[in-house]
A = this chain, B = another copy of it.
Amino acid sequence: MAEYSAPLKDMRFVLDNIADLASLSKLDGYEHAESDVVDAVLEEAGKFASNALSPLNKSGDMQGSHVKDGVVTTPDGWVDAYAGFVEGGWNGISAPEEYDGGGLPSAVALATVEMWNSANLGFALCPLLTQGAIESIIAHGTKEQQDKYLKKLVSGEWAATMNLTESQAGSDVGALRSKAEPAEDGSWRISGQKIFITYGDHEMSENIIHLVLARTPGAPAGTRGISLFIVPKYLVNDDGTLGERNDLKCVSLEEKIGIHASPTAVMSYGDNGNCVGYLLGAENKGMACMFTMMNSARLGVGTQGLAIAERAYQQAVEYARDRKQGQAPGMPKGEMTPIIHHADVRRMLMTMRANIEAMRCLIYLNGACLDRAHHGPDEDARTKAMGMAELLTPLSKGWCTDLGVEMASLAVQVHGGMGFIEETGVGQYYRDARILPIYEGTNGIQALDLVGRKLGLQGGEPVKNMFADMQETVKALAEAGDEMTAMSMQLNLAVTALKEATDWLYGNAPNDPHAAPAGATPYLRMFATTVGAHLLGRSALKARAMLNDGATDTDFLKSKIVTARFFMGQILPTATALLGPVTAGADTLFAIDEELLSA
């Protein structure tokens, strides 16, 4: 099993041609994101991922994290790897320069997030959550809070966690019961138990800043009565030094199917009545603050889906080149053929490759939209970009994490019997990937977000804009001719079906409360796959243009066209066929009584 190798060329191609890095580097605050700087950053990140993180992936899985007396021990090598991560400045490369961040666009940062997670998903979860906390404190913190916490979080000297879930409050966050009572000094006293807290405790950073959702006295029921609190593991003195240990602790860790290295903690706050927290944002507006954090985290988790698929793909290709079985047509007689030459194996590899390239387009574009939403030249541009970013987020999270599982499973299959043996390593990706469709909002929740919120966002403008973009690709492919003609027709069929499904949802959701939820999951799949095809179509057009302009890297550029053709011909048709399932309504879903379902 070789170590992970960052696909720098593919990443750069997507940054240039889909995220439009050149235009990002013209935005206020991103001027230094010049081509050679980005190249250097990606190259260095690739080295760190391959050399420092990837070698710990399997040993971390086997060893796992453990808790004793409330103190979590991470696997061997974790503390040093984290120190190297902080030292390299990787933790804050997209954070604002005023907090000592790198000030790079999110699109570029996401390429590094992809690398950390391909190399070692169990490790990379820790900085992923810190990232969400940074964004939340930037958006909602007071000046004092920002001064107190941001530089340390940006550097990574302090890590952060996200505390939503309680045993009775999972997807239904509004059901949480943790409490916050005001103290005389203006701070709050937090009490309650939280579950599924990723990196709830560890010794890699000198402090951990927990962001905790809780209810204040007399708060309204449901999500409208939730407030967000900053709850440091060690209280922070006014001079920035660490004070006393706060009254919170890790009670236990979960035994999980995968990501064994990542400690998933049950956290208890205020067992001794003295857990100090500080309100972040306004009282009862915790959900809004949490959504800042969650949107960032959702895109991050989508990136994890892409990342695990990429890692699994690399290993599958390597195995398929080494392993010899049988004899493929046209290969030398009398010797066994490397299985990469068998059509069915090649189908699996191309399926992974095409999906990975489509996911990367979607994820980096989503990041670029966020960059434009925050740094765009004017209010209109920023609003438009934010609408698109918000529309794409459930697609990134839902589709890329479903595919993460599916592609990891396919990589196991490429390995045959060896795929089921833990030693091979590919099984870890299959186990690790399974959390991705669940956490940061299950993919069912993502689908509901898409049909329930995103279709109507900004009066439907982002959806209209996406359709306009897709139709432009259909047209450009048709105009390009040759092998692009078939792609144009295939994409057009998909866009037309998606439009019909969308119109059906707009038409039926207002009258039938079950209509949109019933079709939400296949609709997300259909939407995301069609967007993926559109972006690969755009990639193919760019590659063709470069070839026409005499670019020398012909094999690479031609491969971009092949991947697009494969995606349109092999993957897109089943998504297009979801029109019927999306628009069937809830009738057959509920036609069998629940009693009989379990009979």
**A563 interfacial by beta-carbon distance below 8 Å:** yes
Given A562-B592, A574-B578, A576-B577, also A256-B343 (CB < 8 A): no
**A314 interfacial by beta-carbon distance below 8 Å:** yes
**A318 interfacial by beta-carbon distance below 8 Å:** yes
Please, which residues of chain B bring their CB within 8 A of the CB of A419?
Answer: 434, 438
- A340 and B443 CA atoms in complex are apart in Å by 16
**A594 interfacial by beta-carbon distance below 8 Å:** yes
Q: Are B581 and A326 in contact (CB under 8 A)?
A: no
Please, which residues of chain B bring their CB within 8 A of the CB of A563?
Answer: 592
**A588 interfacial by beta-carbon distance below 8 Å:** yes
A154-169 vs B, Cβ < 8 Å mask (1 yes, 0 no): 0000000000010010
- A596 and B195 CA atoms in complex are apart in Å by 45
Q: Are B325 and A592 in contact (CB under 8 A)?
A: no
Given A438-B420, A562-B591, A573-B577, also A171-B343 (CB < 8 A): no
Please, which residues of chain B bring their CB within 8 A of the CB of A291?
Answer: none
Of the residues B330, B413, B579, contact of A437 by C-beta under 8 Å: B413
Nearest Cβ in chain B — how far from A444, in angstroms?
4
Of the residues B421, B514, B566, contact of A343 by C-beta under 8 Å: B514
Quick one: which of A415-435 are within 8 Å of B by CB?
Answer: 416-417, 419-423, 427, 430-431, 434-435
Quick one: which of A167-223 are within 8 Å of B by CB?
Answer: 168, 170-172, 175, 195-196
Please, which residues of chain B bring their CB within 8 A of the CB of A437?
Answer: 413
Q: Are B325 and A598 in contact (CB under 8 A)?
A: no
Given A256-B421, A594-B321, also A580-B588 (CB < 8 A): no
Please, which residues of chain B bring their CB within 8 A of the CB of A314?
Answer: 598
**A142 interfacial by beta-carbon distance below 8 Å:** no
- A353 and B578 CA atoms in complex are apart in Å by 19
Of the residues B196, B257, B329, B336, contact of A514 by C-beta under 8 Å: B329
Of the residues B196, B349, B417, B556, contact of A417 by C-beta under 8 Å: B196
Q: Are A342 and B517 in contact (CB under 8 A)?
A: yes
Given A170-B417, A255-B421, A569-B584, also A517-B343 (CB < 8 A): yes
Q: Are A565 and B588 in contact (CB under 8 A)?
A: yes
**A12 interfacial by beta-carbon distance below 8 Å:** no
Q: Are B317 and A555 in contact (CB under 8 A)?
A: no
A379-409 vs B, Cβ < 8 Å mask (1 yes, 0 no): 0000000000000000000000000010001
Given A257-B430, A573-B577, A594-B321, also A345-B444 (CB < 8 A): yes
Binding site for B on A (CB under 8 A): 7, 9, 165, 168, 170-172, 175, 195-196, 254-258, 314, 317-318, 321, 324-326, 329-330, 336, 338, 340-350, 353, 405, 409, 412-413, 416-417, 419-423, 427, 430-431, 434-435, 437-439, 442-444, 447-448, 513-514, 517-518, 520-522, 555-556, 559, 562-563, 565-566, 569-570, 573-574, 576-581, 584, 586, 588-594, 596-599
